[in-house]
Amino acid sequence: MNDYLPLLLMIGLVIAFVLLSFVASTLLGPRNPNAAKQAPYECGIVPEVEPAERFPVKFYLVAMSFIVLDVEIVFLYPFATVMRELGAFGLVAISIFALVLLIPFAYLLSVGALAWGPVQQVVRRIAPVLRTKSAMLDPSNASPPAGPAEAA
């Protein structure tokens, strides 16, 4: 118990400081809201108009998926340094780990959650070319070449 006493004391002090800070700001803070105090602060520039639109949810989805992939890379690097010592068990374990993280990413790709912005505009322009109902050169629709008898 004596080994953990400094740690418990530090945790208690942190909790007491946080609670005291919240109580002090509530009791001592001014309570006269006005338009200037309610406006969002952005580098000292007073906003003239409201923002046109909010960030789309896809933006946050992309950000979270990249964070997950970054965490995966953070775990893959130490694995690569000790791969020989871990052997086949380590390879199977890291393969399962990568699969568990890449399956949701593949799902996001398949439902089009990551297809937005300039790339999506390009895809919309070339989509009719890529998705035709029949082949561009369909031999069944082409008329046979005119022979010498038909030319005359």
Q: What is 56-125's CATH superfamily?
A: NADH:ubiquinone/plastoquinone oxidoreductase, chain 3 (1.20.58.1610)
Structure tokens that stand for 47 in this block: 């906003």
CA distance between the termini of the chain: 110
DSSP, res 136: S
- Position 150 pLDDT exceeds 60: no
* The model scores a pTM over 0.75: no
Q: State the maximum Cα–Cα separation within the chain, in Å, rounded to a whole number.
A: 111
**112-143 residue pLDDT tens:** 777 666 666 666 666 555 555 555 554 555 55
Q: Indicate the domain borders of the chain.
A: 56-125
